[in-house]
Amino acid sequence: QVQLVESGGGLVQAGGSLRLSCAASGRTFSSYAMGWFRQAPGKEREFVAAIMWNGERTYYADSVKGRFTISRDNAKNTVYLQMNSLKPEDTAVYYCAAPRRWGTRDASEYDYWGQGTQVTVSS
C-alpha cells in the first residue's frame, strides 16, 4: 500500500519553472515505478512522465519532452517533476501515481493516486 501527497503547484508566468514533489508513505515505495499525470478542465487525464523504481529509466509525453524532468529520491520516499519553460497549455491539476507495471501510460493501470496539485501558467 502506498499513499501519495503532491505539493509545489502554484501560479507562474509563461516561461517560468516549478518543481512538484510527491511524498509517499509505505515501506514499498522504492519498489514502485512512479508517474505523473495531469488533467485540465474539461479534458481527460493525460500521462506526463514516468520513472523506473531505481530511477535508471524515464519516459515522457511528447508535449513535455525537453522541458520537464522526472526524478526520485528513494531515501526520502519522494518523486519530483521539474517543469521548465512552462506554457499556458501546461495549466492543469497534476497527479502523481504508482502503476501496476513499468512502461504504461494508461491511467487505468495506475493503482495509487495522490490528491493533485494545481499548476496555473499565465500568458
Ordered mean pLDDT values, 10 residues apiece, the chain (123 residues):
93 98 86 94 96 94 98 95 98 95 92 96 96
Q: What is the pLDDT of residue 27?
A: 67
Q: What is the pLDDT of residue 28?
A: 81
Spatial neighbors of 116 by CB under 8 A, at least 6 apart, are 6, 39, 93, 94, 95
Q: What is the pLDDT of residue 32?
A: 86
